[in-house]
Structure 1
Amino acid sequence: MKKLILTLLATFAIVSGAQASEAGMVLDKFPRERLTDVAALQNGAKVFVNYCLNCHSAAFMRYNRLRDIGLTEAQIKDNLMFATDKVGETMKVSLDANQAKEWFGATPPDLTVIARSRASHSGTGADYLYTFLRNFYRDDTKATGWNNLAFPSVGMPNPLWEMQGQRVAKFEADPHDKTHQVFAGYEQLAPGSLNPQEFDAMVADLVAYLQWMGEPVQGQRVRLGVGVLIFLALFTFIAWRLNAAYWKDVK
């Protein structure tokens, strides 16, 4: 636990208000089937509270809302609550905002609606987060020792490095513009506890949870919308036939 806390305190600090530079980078597609996979959402919640919640809050999400993804209050209390002992509390952190700004250069932003806020013309917020969390690399020129291909000069070190391992990015001259360099792949320096496929799956679960957290009733809203459209279609058909029956003898 001590090692985990130290890792958390040293990671996941995003420069508030900074924008990702996506120029020239195509966002990876987030596997959207994860959004309806209850096991994936539960695993994403576990990753979130273990690797994000020490620095970032989710001040508009209550722990007991996790019952909507199939968790019991006992499971929530026993496995996911570290900052409070009340299941009705919101997901706040004890990290002092002034200290966080001094340590990280900015107060780590709240993550309740981070997936919704990161949507852009180049992809959904889930696409961005899925790309961002999988593209950290070692960069000794940065204060944190880390950089990110999707967010150059990000002020946040890699929170998942123990699982992903350590790697460096390779760049080469752009054949069309010798004054610029283009990304040419990663070189693995040290393996992580997960292989690449397992790591991608874990990140997908985390992003699915972040997407769900931004709008927990999204699935219910979609189902309700589909039901309303089906009702309107049936009602339209019935109204059409009634109209035909009413006017059939009128000349």
Structure 2
Amino acid sequence: MKKLILSLLASMAFALGMSSGAQAAEGGIPWDRFPMERLTDRTALQNGAKLFVNYCLNCHSAAFMRYNRLRDLGLTEEQIKNNLTFATEKIGETMKVAMDPKQAKDWFGATPPDLTVIARSRAGHAGTGADYLYTYLRTYYRDETKATGWNNLAFPNVGMPHALWELQGQRAAKYVEEKDPHDPSKTHHKFVGFEQLTPGTMTPQQYDAAVADLVAFLQWMGEPAQNDRIRLGVWVLIFLAFFTVIAWRLNAAYWKDVK
């Protein structure tokens, strides 16, 4: 339990900012809506698991998720072992990272947090944690003033480089100066779009779909039983509605001769 609480706190710290200059997404751009239908699409979840292992698990762990739990996504142990585990990993082990925490802190300024519950930790009034992650992973841009060479619209001054840049390509953010409506003597920069600097291996549509799959897996990983819980909840509501009708008719039959 103590480890789970520490993981949740670390994930929240990552989402809120690795540096003192980080800003909350509510104060920046609005979050895009994550396509929720991905959560019930096993093919999307399987692809998300593949992306997670290939691009996230190099730095981030998922210490509360075991590889064999991926059987819930329709994968066999053989498929998991051959496609989603490293040579030294066993099917019953948790998704740990080989990176030395001390080296990670030296490189990134902070130890990359565990991602088991990252989607659950970032929900806010601007949207769900999935909305935030979906926006965050799609709004990276080149910024040579930063140590990593990258910045992010949803997470200004982010300390994490763009892990998926080869898929998306490199982009620059375009801004225009606008006068402050409350004080004409002041101006501010308004974001107007991205400029593609180098192409990625995916089209923009393919990249958005891949990010949606990855976020769906992160959301599923935070609560693997979520879909089962929702299905069970529907049946419970149906049962309660049916039982309410029966109870209503029994009550009417019981009191019909009482004056």
TM-score by length of 1: 0.91
Verify: 1:187 aligned to 2:195, yes or no: yes
1:79-110, Cα deviation, whole Å (9 max, x unpaired): 00016431110000111111111111110000
1:159-198, Cα deviation, whole Å (9 max, x unpaired): 1111101110011112435432110111111110100000
Partner of residue 129 from structure 2, selected from 122, 125, 131: 125
> Which residue of structure 2 aligns with residue 110 of structure 1?
114
RMSD of the TM alignment (CA)?
A: 1.5
- CA distance in 2 between partners of 1:229 and 1:83 (Å): 46
Verify: 1:240 aligned to 2:243, yes or no: no
- CA distance in 2 between partners of 1:241 and 1:171 (Å): 67
- CA distance in 1 between partners of 2:228 and 2:114 (Å): 24
Residues 40 and 217 of structure 1: CA distance in aligned 2, closer, same or farther (over 3 Å): same
Residues 220 and 148 of structure 1: CA distance in aligned 2, closer, same or farther (over 3 Å): same
Task: Map residues 92-171 of structure 1 onto 2, 5 A cutoff.
Answer: 92-171=96-175
Letter in 1 for 2:194: Y
Partner of residue 75 from structure 2, selected from 59, 64, 71: 71
> Which residue of structure 2 aligns with residue 11 of structure 1?
none
Partner of residue 176 from structure 1, selected from 162, 174, 180: 180
Q: Is the 8 A contact 1:133 1:203 kept in 2?
A: yes
Q: Is the 8 A contact 1:83 1:94 kept in 2?
A: no
- CA distance in 2 between partners of 1:17 and 1:172 (Å): 27
Q: Is the 8 A contact 2:71 2:77 kept in 1?
A: yes
> Which residue of structure 1 aligns with residue 216 of structure 2?
208
Determine what percentage of the aligned residue pairs are the same residue: 72
Q: CA deviation at 1:231?
A: 1.0
Q: Is the 8 A contact 1:16 1:107 kept in 2?
A: no
Letter in 2 for 1:250: V
1:133-155, Cα deviation, whole Å (9 max, x unpaired): 00000000000000001101100
> Which residue of structure 2 aligns with residue 21 of structure 1?
24
> Which residue of structure 2 aligns with residue 48 of structure 1?
52
SS state of the match for residue 169, structure 1?
strand
> Which residue of structure 1 aligns with residue 3 of structure 2?
none
Q: CA deviation at 1:211?
A: 0.3
Which structure 2 residue ranges, 5 or more long, are not aligned?
1-12
- CA distance in 2 between partners of 1:20 and 1:67 (Å): 38
Which structure 1 residue ranges, 5 or more long, are not aligned?
1-13
Letter in 1 for 2:202: L
- CA distance in 2 between partners of 1:197 and 1:217 (Å): 30
Q: CA deviation at 1:56?
A: 0.1
Residues 16 and 242 of structure 1: CA distance in aligned 2, closer, same or farther (over 3 Å): closer
- CA distance in 2 between partners of 1:175 and 1:225 (Å): 52
Q: Is the 8 A contact 1:16 1:109 kept in 2?
A: no
- CA distance in 1 between partners of 2:57 and 2:188 (Å): 38
Verify: 1:226 aligned to 2:234, yes or no: yes
Q: Is the 8 A contact 1:115 1:214 kept in 2?
A: yes
SS state of the match for residue 47, structure 1?
helix
- CA distance in 1 between partners of 2:31 and 2:167 (Å): 22
1:31-62, Cα deviation, whole Å (9 max, x unpaired): 00000000000000000000000100000000
